[in-house]
Amino acid sequence: MRLADLSEHSGVSLATIKYYLREGLLPPGRRINATQAEYDESHLRRLRLVRAMIQVGRIPVATVREVLAHVDDDSLGLTFRLGAALWALPHPTEPSSDPEDDPSTTAAHTLVADLLARLGWRTTCEVGDLNPAHRALVAALATLDRLGYPLDTDDLLPYARTMEQAAAYDLDRMEVLPTPREQAEYAVAGAVLFEPVLLNLRRLAQAEESGRRYGL
Amino acid sequence: MRLADLSEHSGVSLATIKYYLREGLLPPGRRINATQAEYDESHLRRLRLVRAMIQVGRIPVATVREVLAHVDDDSLGLTFRLGAALWALPHPTEPSSDPEDDPSTTAAHTLVADLLARLGWRTTCEVGDLNPAHRALVAALATLDRLGYPLDTDDLLPYARTMEQAAAYDLDRMEVLPTPREQAEYAVAGAVLFEPVLLNLRRLAQAEESGRRYGL
DNA sequence: ATGGCTTGGATAGTGACACTCACCGATGGA
DNA sequence: TCCATCGGTGAGTGTCACTATCCAAGCCAT
């Protein structure tokens, strides 16, 4: 498979594929001679993953490179490989601009701690705010509070329970894949691509419920 | 309240507030004389909403303007006001580039139709793919399928049920607000700000479950 | 009243980012 | 032989959310 074929099969323009190669998002093909290279199915899969991360997940190119480096790092065990790859993903509401000490943020901190305790998520609890998802969650809750829409533990519990089920389901499907690299790729793809599914389901549900309550 | 006070209370820079005024995201203040204007709490609330949409929701300025126009349109009934505002929000995975006829997309279409039927979401079912959330959902499922991670109705049902509960809860809280405009503002803020909460809960759950299964 | 300040408003520029174009020399099929 | 095509590279483009600078008109302490 040549560059042009890769472009053909993926629908990604030639110039863009060259750009990804230059940026190290796509490994170079197997060189045939001085001016030609051969690409295979793994390149196609990787290209689609990159497109998903950039187009769907709006992940900056530099971050994509970082995530993929973890996915490709065969020296890591699966746990760290997954952890590193997923921690490198950007987390919503990151541009926190760190007030760090306003009342909303401290309230959000205790709220999340309380939530984790009631969920029994010991592992997560120990790692605490080293986890970027933890920090982003605190920031999001603080923003909601600051806008005048506070939440409490009881509000969050059912959502957390559902997300727990979702995570278990995700890992179930991941485990059937043959190689650790493919498992890591699946974890990243799932993290990025399943989010819009969830969010759009929520919007549809809002429309439905609104229609039921207020007619048409 | 002067421009500088608005900046002080919101943490948004003076230049940025001027930019928002220029772009019509913030209504002009009540003019006191040729060189000064007065702003009130509603401006502060609006400014925070705009910041939430742009920073957290990453919504383009032009789209924010459109959404706010619907929020402020007193001529609409509440249902249409909410619908218009929420439909104007961008929906994840929109840059579809419309193949429209590939097998993944048609499969996703029937999958969603099946899902809506089993959920009993008649209203949503009738409107069909006019709803941008519906189209975005189809696109997201098609992308997942194309990457080799297909989902079926049984996979999606529990998520949809949970989102249904979330939507009901959102509307409950919205109804206690006094004016239709504040209700519409709440709906937009909830749609934008609650999404990161959900997504980060999911990532935390993934980390927890992964730790439980594979140690550490 | 006057000089230094701030005010709201307008124009042009900045920086980040994801591409995209034009060009190069080498290559390989007709 | 010849010329389209290959992969690779440096510079340019378009978008977008700001942001720096300037301006004339008021306010306020001296």
Ramachandran quadrant class, A26 (left: phi over 0; alpha: psi -120 to 50; beta: rest): beta
Q: How far is the CA of A35 from the C1' of C16 (A)?
A: 33
Q: Give B20-35 pLDDT, tens digit per residue.
A: 999 999 999 888 877 7
Q: Which of A202, A60, A188 has the alpha carbon at shortest distance from B196?
A: A202
| Nearest nucleotide (C1') to alpha carbon of B64 | D17
Mean of per-residue pLDDT scores for chain B = 86
CA atoms within 13 A on the CB side of A51: 22
- What is the three-class DSSP state of A197? helix
pLDDT over 60 at B98, yes or no: no
Query: Which whole number is the average pLDDT over B115-141?
Result: 85
pLDDT over 90 at A25, yes or no: yes
B212 touches strand C (CB under 7 A): no
pTM of the model: 0.88
pLDDT over 60 at A97, yes or no: no
Q: Which of B74, B52, B48 has the alpha carbon at shortest distance from B191?
A: B52
The alpha carbon of residue B35 is apart from the nearest alpha carbon of chain A, in Å, by 30
Contacts with A46 (C-beta within 8 Å, 6 or more apart), sequence order: A25, A26, A27, A68, A185
Cβ of B214 and A79 within 8 Å?
A: yes
CA–CA dist A75, B14 (Å, integer): 50
Identify which of A156, A193, A208 has the shortest CB distance to residue B121.
A208
Least confident of A110-124, A175-189, B81-95: B81-95
B-chain residues near A163 (CB < 8 A): 198, 201-202, 204-205
Q: Which of A103, A202, A126 has the alpha carbon at shortest distance from A159?
A: A202
